[in-house]
Amino acid sequence: MSQLLWQKPGVRVDARIQRFLAGEDVILDREFLRYDIRASRAHAQGLQRIGLLRDTELAGIERELSALDAAVVAREFVLDERFEDCHSAIEAWLIERLGDAGKKIHTGRSRNDQILVATRLWLKDQLARVDALAREVAEVSLARAEAEAMLALPGYTHIQRAMVSSCGMWWAAWAEAFIDDAQRARDTLALIDANPLGSAAGYGINLPLDRDYTTAALGFGRLQVAATYAQLSRGKFELAAVEALGSATLDLRRLAWDLSQFTSAEYGFVALPAEYTTGSSIMPNKRNPDVVELMRAVHASVAAARTELEQLLSLPSGYHRDLQFTKGAIVHAFARGLGALELLPDLLRNLEWRSERMQAALEPSMYATDLAVDLARQGMPFRDAYREAANPARWAEGDSQVSLQARVSPGAAANLRLDVLRARLKGLR
């Protein structure tokens, strides 16, 4: 490791302690390095605006930051154990190439606001991806809801056969769920779209930094005004972002549970695309829904990250090194969460219903609720109609299409109100 930014003369550095302090930072900071480069450019421009950098120095810094960014993209520069973190790597690159001009880049800022702004920019991109994927899932679901509106599907409560339902209703449910998830991602992005750069260590700095300029330069929606709150928001904003991701992965988990059941031999309602299944290492007859099962598992990682973040925030105001662990929580949560969500649209586009198996599962008892409501509509008090319809002697083979066509309450099979959902989705584009 190169000399530490904070190292003082006469202070011995213990390698074991440094390994503990660094943790996964060098690996995790690969996620944030390019965002820190962007923020460093804006900060340098701000220093030039208040006369702390000459025009030629700014030009050199901008040139070398662009060169570093290109090297990162080309994988010619890899953040590794030579550096304490992404911040020290950027500063070392600039000093090596620019000398004293490079040494000026840290004027007026702390590593605290560096990681705050880099993380904030990274989270904005992650939430934008959640928004886009949730909208794509909703679009696929709406298209299939319309195409398969009256395809009969058994409806379950308590994992017991309950009433006749339809694929249209199943798809519409996921469409509305993921529209809500997109909205939540978007609302959370608006919450965290605040620029902390220039708050330094949380107490401001004795320089007239143009924080409004860096806010605009970095594309933030607003300035995070209070310098001390910028530090207080670390972890809080990460928690909000993970909760928005968790809204989508929670729906993904329940959808994956449906598909796990529906693809089993006992149900046999769905055939998955072949590429979404794997073989057994010992049983030649098996094709396993491993992708769906891992989709179902992903929410556990997101929920664990949320819990880790919440527990880390048991702190007084000001910066504390505990907050370093917020990086791992968000990186792991979004890596797994987005990795699963990215596979979902194509899975939903290409799964196939086995209508003959679904129709065979519609037993006479599943029309009992229709019978009770029909008797009530004819004038019988509903509780009497309920008892009458509970008599198995009254059950008979029903017609699933007649049942579905009669289901006219808003949101039911014959009145899906897909136009309302389409309008909501259009409003998110």
Nearest Cα residue to 418 out of 173, 96, 79: 173
Tokens standing for 90?
Answer: 């950027």
Q: Is 332 exposed, middle or buried (0-12, 13-18, 19+ CB in 10 A)?
A: middle
Are 372 and 291 a contacting pair, CB within 8 Å? no
Q: What H or E segment, with its residue span, contains residue 244?
A: helix 236-262
Please tell me which residue in 2, 66, 264, 280 is annotated as part of the active site.
280
Helices assigned H by DSSP within 351-395? 355-360, 368-377, 382-389
- Catalytic, 280? Answer yes
Whole-Å CA distances, 386 to 267, 374, 375, 380, 391: 29, 10, 9, 10, 9
Phi and psi at residue 334, in whole multiples of 5°? Answer: -75, -30
Distance CA 398, CA 179 (A): 34
- Catalytic, 158? Answer yes
Name residue 194's beta-bridge partners: 222
Helices assigned H by DSSP within 148-226? 167-192, 211-217
Angle subtended by helix axes 33-49 and 55-73, to nearest 10: 170
Please tell me which residue in 158, 281, 314, 409 is annotated as part of the active site.
158
Which residues are catalytic, by number? 158, 280
